[in-house]
A = this chain, B = another copy of it.
Amino acid sequence: MIVTMSTNATQAQISAVVEEIEHQSLTAHLIRGTERTVIVIVGQGKLESQDAVRGLPGVQNLTPITHPYKLASRQVHPQDSQVQVGDVQFGGPDIVLIGGPCSVESRKQLIETAKAIRDAGGQMLRGGAFKPRSSPYSFQGMGEAGLELLAEAREATGLPIVTEVMAPEQIPLIMRYADMFQIGARNMQNYNLLHAVGESQFPVLLKRGMSATIDELLMSAEYILSHGNRRVVLCERGIRTYETTTRNTTDINAVPVLKTLTHLPVMLDPSHSTGQRNYVIPISRAAIAAGADGLIIEVHPDPDHALSDGGQSLRFDQFAELVQQTRKLAAAVGRS
């Protein structure tokens, strides 16, 4: 349920509404717009007595929310949300380009890559220190040593850092070194992790699960939002289908669908959604054309010798070419 307050509602009137909602054992989330405040009611039950709320001074009207996700819904927040991470703004007029290696492997690899990303025009650095790998015998990431290198790369280039968090206990450690969490596809429905990341109030890049529906992605975002953490950025990364020519199937439909259903920024990861280096640039163009707010791209100084995901990583010159091409596309759709 959404309680829309009248434009001249006072803070006391808003507090009285919140109090009544909590009295009915539900939770009130305030969304303060430029003109008016909206109060979103969430919780396991329903508002028993709607009249008790409707009758309060300053309340303009009550509207039911039609989707199972509430805070993520564009219905409660019609304007696009912006998520700020350092100087980078997701969901604003600028397209955000994040680049970097799948895994942090060494100082040389990471610093070189970070500089190449920055010089080409990328705004943010990605790199995995904790790696979810399907085999227990594969390289599992450098751990804290990798985080230190990421922080050093930020020092060297000014680029903010996004890196994957796999478990609640890694949260304080990662917050010390990085600027944004990534929740990977395999953990999209790891609810204990979503809960903990929600409580951290730290920005999150939430990737869609390999076979998650769009609704499930929004419900997972809702887990984070319901803990008061509004800095959630969604990421389409390809879904699992019967087609095996590409590693995954880029669900390009998800871009306009998400932009319709939610106010949250929407990124696309063409490295995973195609799994092959030579399709990354055309799919990046398509993502921008479809309305995505940015791209996250795997880049490696020497893809053929990468410890993971080499086949889908761009070389530096290819990343620079991608930046050039997406700029033209951004202009054609009125972005920058």
Q: How far is the CA of A244 from the CA of B214 in the complex (A)?
A: 9
Shortest distance from the beta carbon of A135 to any chain B beta carbon, whole Å: 5
Residues of B within 8 A of A216 (CB): 134
Asked if A241 meets B244 with Cβ closer than 8 Å, knowing A44-B138, A256-B283, A282-B289, the reply is no
Chain A to chain B contacts (Cβ below 8 Å), 17 pairs:
A44-B139, A68-B135, A69-B135, A133-B191, A134-B220, A136-B191, A136-B219, A166-B192, A187-B190, A239-B242, A239-B243, A256-B279, A256-B283, A257-B279, A282-B290, A282-B291, A286-B286
Contact with B along A130-169 (1 / 0, CB 8 A): 0011111111000000000000000000000000001111
Contacts of A333 in B (CB 8 A): 285, 328-329
Q: Is A98 an interface residue (CB 8 A)?
A: no
Q: Would you call A135 and B219 a contact (CB within 8 A)?
A: yes
- In Å, the complex CA distance between A288 and B215 comes to 28
Residue in A134, A187, A274, A288 whose Cβ sees the most chain B Cβ within 10 Å: A134
Q: Is A245 in contact with chain B by the CB < 8 A criterion?
A: yes
Q: How large is the interface on A (under 10, 10 to 19, 20 to 34, 35 or more residues)?
A: 35 or more
A52 CB–B CB distance under 8 Å: no
- Interface positions, chain A 187-231, Cβ under 8 Å from B, are 187, 189-192, 210-211, 213-216, 219-220, 222-223, 226
Query: 7 new A-B pairs (CB below 8 Å) besides A169-B192, A286-B287?
Result: A44-B139, A134-B189, A213-B243, A252-B283, A256-B279, A282-B289, A285-B289
Contact of A136 among B226, B245, B254, B287 (CB under 8 A): B226
Assess A252 versus B286: contact at CB under 8 Å? Given A245-B257, A278-B260.
yes
Chain B min CB distance to A249 (Å): 5
> Which of B44, B169, B189 meets A137, CB within 8 Å?
B44
A64 part of interface (Cβ distance < 8 Å): no
The distance in angstroms between the C-alpha atoms of A166 and B254, with both chains bound, is 29
Given contacts A43-B137, A134-B219, A282-B290, contact A243 B252 (CB under 8 A): no
Listed residue (A133, A136, A216, A250) with the most chain B CB atoms within 10 angstroms of its CB: A136
**Closest residue to A166 on the B side, CB-wise?**
B192
Could you say which residues of chain B place their CB within 8 Å of the CB of A186? 189-191
Question: Is A240 located at the chain interface by the 8 A CB criterion?
Answer: yes
Q: Is A251 an interface residue (CB 8 A)?
A: yes
Residues of B within 8 A of A288 (CB): 289
The answer to whether B242 and A211 touch across the interface, beta carbons within 8 angstroms, is: yes
A253 to B252, CA, bound (A): 9
